[in-house]
Structure 1
Amino acid sequence: MGRNLVIQTDFGLSDGAVSAMYGVALSVDSKLRVFDLTHDIPQYNIWEGSYRLYQTLPYWPEETVFISVVDPGVGTARLSVVVKTVNNQYIVTPDNGTLTHIKKDIGIKEARIIDEKTNRLPRSGESYTFHGRDVYAYTGARLASNTITFEEVGAPVDVNDIVELTKPEAYIEEDIVYGNIDILDIRFGNLWTNISRELFQEINVAHGDAFEVTIANNRQQVYKNIMTYRHSFAEIRLGEPLLYVNSLDNLGVAINQGSFANAYHVETGPHWQIIIRKAPKIS
């Protein structure tokens, strides 16, 4: 197995939690290459943890081991698992919905429950509140360093039993596209939807076309306006909104050099819906 270990948490970097996970990993094998995916997942936001894995995994080599710790149920009966994706990558994580996007959009071949009798940091005491260090970093490092095989993680579990969050699918009805705001391009405040470029093109779109865009939270409208579909931000005036294709080949919504999310108080998740229909072209 390769020596790449990629860690994601909602811990932030203001204390030593992430550093402790690094230390555990390097104590298992000092030759491991340890990388950060992000540690800025909003606290307890399993949905965002799931999406960031989906956003990142396809660009890493086979055999890379990912650790994802967004774990509001730490110390409860929720399972700790390692899964093997269809692209031969591994994810070490609580089974709490973090694998939703991977399971639905990439694919999981096998899953195993972490046996904490053998795959728990020695001398970690009776603490049940830092599985990121004591179970996930330790198990992930042992797997990435070939100290254990995937089979030695623990007993197999049916992939169909892996916990999933509610994940609506985008669709078209009477030439109107319905989707969801899955995530933010956080630093810039752009909205990333679950509407694929291919689905959007089914309503016969062209760059420069105008669309009526409605955004609702739990069916309560929070935004409605006309905007154009463009290749990039620079094709419109500063401060104007646009539709565009993001880096995952899905439809995005943005303000040129502004934060759409901040301007209209838009958040993310399965309750945030976007509705797009053609409008007369803006001259």
Structure 2
Amino acid sequence: MNLVIVSGLSGSGKSIALETLEDCGYYCIDNLPVVLFESFVRRALIGSHPPLHKAAIGIDARNQTASLAQFPSTLELADQFGIECRILFLQAESHTLLKRFSETRRKHPLTSANHPLSEAIELERQLLEPVASRAHLLIDTTYTNVHQLRELVRQRVVAQRENLMSLYFLSFGYKNGMPLDADFVFDLRCLPNPHWEPALRAKTGKDAEVVEFLERIDDVRQYLEDVAHFLERWIPRFKAENRSYLTVAIGCTGGQHRSVYLVEALAARFASSDHHLLVRHRDLR
């Protein structure tokens, strides 16, 4: 039995993630109280005929605080039943969540006369810490639209089902904020910036002229080799510990030239490896 627990902050995209898993053939339940987890496992997963092979449940702050505190023992119960259980946790920066609730005019589940929206968001972060700290896969949706989130969930779930490690290369610009879900972050701002070349400013790290410019620079070539060698050495160690997901973020100032170039170069380097390879340029116009 393959079980995915979907959790995260309100407004971060939990419903989208669950809908995507349902489209992928998962039996899905949203907002399952933690105290009912054992009953769900016994009746829906083990006692059903034919038995379910894959399911996804949503667990979030709509649970009572005492129930969320029982979450670690819930995972132990899943292990006792021999269920392969993975936790997908979605989050976003507070300013983005505030904007989303303002645009949709939805009520946050923890808002009250004593807790305005900004306080409710921070309270929810605290309440969900027992879940977030045990997440196998963390997705930051601050700069992710609905279509990108659906694709991320599809690809990373499928990769796990194929028993392949999901290797996710992400380029970004520091001026737009660091990604919150990266396992490794490499900073390219010490390297020459094509932005200051007038003929290259409007181009990106995918364009041949920018690639040629960067490949002529010794420090760029050495940086690429150092990062590649680091990953080639340490990825097998993570895989040996049954790690299913690894996110490598490469950042430059604007996320247009250097980081895009290096992500494309690393993707080409690892294309023939036995990993499920994903590439995204977060801030590429």
Q: TM-score range by the shorter chain?
A: under 0.3
Q: Which has the higher strand share?
A: 1
Q: Which has the higher helix share?
A: 2
> TM-score, normalization: structure 1?
0.27
> TM-score, normalization: structure 2?
0.27
Higher relative contact order (CA 8 A, sep 6+): 2
